[in-house]
Structure 1
Amino acid sequence: MKWKLTRRFLGSVVTIVVIVGLVNAILLFSLLVFRTMYNFDAEEESMENFSRTFSQYVELQDDKPIVNEKGLEKLQELKAWVQILNKKGEQVAAFYTPSNLKTEYSPIEIVQMYKYKEIDTETTVFIGETDGFSYFVGVKDQGIGRYVLTYDYAKIFKNINILLLLFLIVDIIIALVIGLLFGKRLTTPLYILVEGIQQLRERRFKKMAIPKGVYEDVFRNMNELSVKLDQYEKERDHLDRMREEWISNVSHDMKTPLASIHGYAELMKDSGTDLTPQELHEYTTIINRQSLYMKDLLDDLNLTMRLRNQQLPLQFEDVDIVVFLREMTIELLNDSPFGERQIEFQANVDKAVHKVDKKLLKRAILNFIYNALVHNDENVLVTIRIDNIYPHCGQEQKSGNISTAPVFHTQITIADNGRGIPSKDLEQVFERYYRGTNTANTHGTGLGMAIARDIILAHNGKLDLTSVENKGTSITILL
């Protein structure tokens, strides 16, 4: 994967360089051809053109050539001179010529005079023709020069091809070197990222070293994702284990009453005529009790699912929580299993009215109280206390210039001085799939605390549990 990404990057770079090189070569060649054909950068007033058209300033008087005034002005303006020759190469007229200039030329000397600077290094000579006479135009200017080139078209094109091939090879080598350096630097983090994603897919959550540069944020986010996925994986494994334990417990709780119902039903079926009325009443009572237990179990399953999915409509009504808890305490003390237990009710407020679902809230609070009574010794003291909590320290709230009544919360505390809950179990107490193992009494479905918590949350309340082993447990409800 690493070299695959590098090859793709190198291929892209080399392709771009080759295309750019070919386009530049074609463009350069086209410009050279166009310039050669049209000479588009030649100026009309160049010295070459001036020399070739100087004949317009030459006139004949008595069959002798002379330069008119306009031509003389041009020569003075350009600091040039002119020498006119006949067909024999003899001088017949001269204007502004230097003193050392020859007056008679052979054909080879004329060629030499035109091709090379025969007078001095600063003077360039141009040649022209008019009315059977030839003339030299000399210009003394270091900025003007003439260079004679001889070339072979075949060799030129061959050399150009070699040069282009050389440039192409050099460009490709440069592109490969640069591409390899930058490609390795750019693709190495990508390779590490691909490996990291592969590890995540294989559920191996390992942090990667964060490099500096453009990929820094990507690596940081990948590490955060790895940490979160690791947490989710552990939580899921934990929930799966709890779910399996809960299913095992519920299955056991279902099998036990079913076994009783099935056993007593078979007994009544086989020995119905031999049973006394007292035995028949005892057996039917057991069957009825076990069937009610199974019904309660199924109701708990249905209730916890509806509460968790917010599909249970609550029947809200105004309820005085002080009266509500006092009546609940009296009802508990009048219940035969708990009539002799130590249950105290403390009300530090006179009245606290809230809109609640009376039936569900009673079930939640009773569940907390039952847990305190059932999972502790018979001499445990359970205290039910109600207080008002003022978040603003009793000060009045102000809206503009209008003072409003102080905002307070009703706090319900259910505390006991029993054996407490081990710290390792505290985080699992309210889980739906948790069934307490810190007590010998394992009766129940393991849904009671989860249902109670969901009921409090459905009332927009807050729930807090604190416990210390061998000192007791305290549950605080804030409405």
Structure 2
Amino acid sequence: MKWKLTRRFLGSVVTIVVIVGIVNTILLFCLLILQSMYNIFGTEEGSAENFSRIFSQYVELQNEKPIVNEEGLEKLQDMNAWIQFLNNEGEQVAAFYTPKNLQTEYSPVEIVQTYKYKEVDANTTVFVGKAHNFSYFLGIKDQRIGRYVMTYDYAKVFKYINILLLVFLIVDIFIAIVIGFLFGKRLTTPLNTLIEGIQQLRERRFKKMSVPKGVYEDVFRNMNELSVKLDQHEKERNHLDQMREEWISNVSHDMKTPLASIHGYAELMKDSVTDLTLQELHDYTSIINRNSMYMKDLLDDLNLTMRLRNQQLPLQFEDVNIVGFIREMTIELLNDSPFGDRQVEFETNMDKAVHKVDKKLLKRAIFNFIYNALVHNDENVVVNIRIDNVYPQCEQEQKSSNISTAPEFHTQITIADNGRGIPSKDLEQVFERYYRGTNTTSTHGTGLGMAIAREIILAHNGKLDLTSVENKGTTITILL
């Protein structure tokens, strides 16, 4: 492909050069003919020749001898010229401004020699004219003016012109091939790179190309942008495929246990329906119902976890006063019958802290942390919920630089308990799916609460920290 493009470009260059050469040659011959006929360029020689031919208008006869009138004498002085009149025998009959060493008698051969060649001196060109039956030499002393006499054979001239044109044509074609090859290679190499880049895109290989300077710079830059976008779309597609496969795998894995329980008790009820007591039927249906509800909660939690983790869940942000929001959550918790007599404390050092949050999701995350502290500890555990202002690290720098700007702060939510704590070997697994710890017998929930809570905090661009000491308690810190 590369050489094909080069050959095409080279052929175009050679064709253009040949056509241009032929046209230029024709134009050159036409100009030479016009110049010889009409002196279209108005050269100095043509002006001098014309001056010598029309000078007869300044010549008059006096006593049968030619003289130059005053206007003609002024013209001679302006042209730095002289004039010599001759009779039919070649003898001088009158002269004006002629040099001292100029001969006064000429044979026919000498007349021809004087006209054709610079016989007077190297700076003077002699022209011939006629006035009142007298011939005259008109010499113009000017180094810029010259005459060149040529003799030629038409047949040979055309022969040599043909040979010269052929040589020029061959040389032009050779030069065109060399230049066309060099420029063609330079111009077609980026095209070949572009073609290879398009083939890579077709094969789903998204590789950036180096951007050359020149006419192709924008093309290469757009190709690289296209490659980046296609690469992003490909990664997104692969990511969605992976999400789907992970979702199917998680659902398949997590549904096996409750489905097995439901299937087992359903089979037992079918096979022993006449032998079961009302209490046994009630117990079995309760187990089936509990497992079906667990499956529903598990599906909801799995779906929420996957969407949060992959940033596929749109959050409904609104301005919320965090202090009042968590105070209401604490009251709601204490009004719940299972936790009405539990020790839950709420503290704050401020009245208002407004943040843009998704109330539903943030409420679920904080409730998950509080429920874990209550459910996985003894009934006498004390849970403390505290809200504080925390200034950023750059506050001291602002104070030292005397900048009069309002200091920014973060809202810190701390949920601490004095319960069993978490063993150090389990700390890294707290936010993993289905973690329940080794020092608790509770099986409440789906095992996804902490993982969901962490993803919710991260979705709010918050920070989450957990510290725990065994037999002393656990502290969860949320920074918004």
TM-score by length of 2: 0.69
Q: Answer yes or no: is the 8 Å Cα contact 1:10–1:183 preserved in 2.
A: yes
Q: Answer yes or no: is the 8 Å Cα contact 1:352–1:410 preserved in 2.
A: no
In the alignment, structure 2 segments of 5+ residues that lack a partner are none
Secondary structure of residue in 1 paired with 2:178: helix
Secondary structure of residue in 2 paired with 1:148: coil
Question: In structure 1, what is the equivalent of residue 314 of structure 2?
Answer: 310
Question: In structure 2, what is the equivalent of residue 349 of structure 1?
Answer: 348
Amino acid at match of 2:59: V
The separation in 1 between residues aligned to 2:378 and 2:221, in whole angstroms, is: 56
Superposition pairs for residues 58-69 of structure 1, below 5 Å?
Answer: 58-69=59-70
Question: In structure 2, what is the equivalent of residue 292 of structure 1?
Answer: 293
Secondary structure of residue in 2 paired with 1:281: helix
The separation in 2 between residues aligned to 1:373 and 1:154, in whole angstroms, is: 121
CA shift, 1:410, in A, is 3.5
The separation in 1 between residues aligned to 2:194 and 2:240, in whole angstroms, is: 30
Give the fraction of aligned pairs with identical amino acids, expressed as a percent: 64
Question: In structure 2, what is the equivalent of residue 412 of structure 1?
Answer: 414
Question: In structure 2, what is the equivalent of residue 247 of structure 1?
Answer: 248
CA shift, 1:204, in A, is 5.2
The separation in 2 between residues aligned to 1:323 and 1:52, in whole angstroms, is: 122
Superposition pairs for residues 360-439 of structure 1, below 5 Å?
Answer: 360-368=361-369, 385-391=385-391, 409-413=411-415, 416-420=421-425, 435=433
Deviates more, 1:255-264 or 1:467-476: 467-476
Secondary structure of residue in 1 paired with 2:137: strand
Superposition pairs for residues 7-22 of structure 1, below 5 Å?
Answer: 7=7, 10=10, 14=14, 17-18=17-18, 21=21
- Shift of the 446–178 alpha-carbon distance from structure 1 to 2, 3 Å rule, reads farther
Superposition pairs for residues 148-227 of structure 1, below 5 Å?
Answer: 148-153=149-154, 155-181=156-182, 183-184=184-185, 188=189, 191=192, 195=196, 198-199=199-200, 202=203
- Shift of the 172–443 alpha-carbon distance from structure 1 to 2, 3 Å rule, reads farther
How many residues in Structure 1 have an aligned counterpart in Structure 2? 458
Deviates more, 1:30-39 or 1:74-83: 74-83
Could you list the per-position Cα deviations for residues 349-406 of structure 1 after superposition, in whole angstroms to 9, with x for gaps in the alignment? 36766677776444323434566899x9999x996552403326999x99xxx99999
Could you list the per-position Cα deviations for residues 275-311 of structure 1 after superposition, in whole angstroms to 9, with x for gaps in the alignment? 2212211221122112212322344356568874327
Q: Answer yes or no: is the 8 Å Cα contact 1:320–1:354 preserved in 2.
A: no
Question: In structure 2, what is the equivalent of residue 144 of structure 1?
Answer: 145
- Shift of the 160–352 alpha-carbon distance from structure 1 to 2, 3 Å rule, reads farther
Question: In structure 1, what is the equivalent of residue 87 of structure 2?
Answer: 86
Q: Answer yes or no: is the 8 Å Cα contact 2:345–2:382 preserved in 1.
A: no
Amino acid at match of 2:53: R
CA shift, 1:89, in A, is 3.6
Question: In structure 1, what is the equivalent of residue 36 of structure 2?
Answer: 36
In the alignment, structure 1 segments of 5+ residues that lack a partner are none
Question: In structure 1, what is the equivalent of residue 477 of structure 2?
Answer: 476
Q: Answer yes or no: is the 8 Å Cα contact 2:124–2:140 preserved in 1.
A: yes
- Shift of the 362–139 alpha-carbon distance from structure 1 to 2, 3 Å rule, reads closer
Secondary structure of residue in 2 paired with 1:144: coil
- Shift of the 349–309 alpha-carbon distance from structure 1 to 2, 3 Å rule, reads closer
TM-score by length of 1: 0.69
Amino acid at match of 1:42: G
Deviates more, 1:164-173 or 1:312-321: 312-321
The separation in 2 between residues aligned to 1:324 and 1:419, in whole angstroms, is: 30
- Shift of the 438–385 alpha-carbon distance from structure 1 to 2, 3 Å rule, reads closer
Amino acid at match of 2:391: P
Superposition pairs for residues 110-129 of structure 1, below 5 Å?
Answer: 110-129=111-130
CA shift, 1:39, in A, is 0.8
